Amino acid sequence: MPIKWSALQVSQAMDEVALLLAYAESDLRQAENKAKEARKIPHLPQYLDQHLARVCYTIEARSQMVDAVESVRQSIPDGAVEAERKALEQGTQTNLL
């Protein structure tokens, strides 16, 4: 049974998301380092340290974003992207009947 959605478009979207995440990696690393530095401020109240720890944890959890993209890719049926690419390369034929 053919799928009614575009596996190729989903794959291309995930390629773009992965690329954007890769671009953001350096900035996220810097943000994480700044938040860790802020946690070392002398006499920092515990409630602020807890919030900063949450910031650090959330940034550290960025690997979950990459895992989520991979999960989408794995959910695309095997061969669907290649079949769609091949069909697009061959073009469509007009039905004469």
Domain boundaries, the chain: 7-81
Indicate the pLDDT class of residue 69, thresholds 50, 70 and 90: very high
Residue 97 to residues 50, 93, 94, Cα–Cα distance (Å): 70, 12, 9
Query: What value does the mean pLDDT take over residues 13-19?
Result: 96
Query: Taking all residues of the chain, what is their mean pLDDT, rounded to a whole number?
Result: 90
Spatial separation of the C-alpha atoms in residues 14 and 38, rounded to whole Å: 34
| Dihedral angle over CA of 47, 51, 56, 61, nearest 10 | 130
3-state DSSP assignment of residue 30: helix
pTM (predicted TM-score): 0.71
Spatial separation of the C-alpha atoms in residues 37 and 40, rounded to whole Å: 5
Counting DSSP H helices and E strands in the chain, the numbers are 4, 0
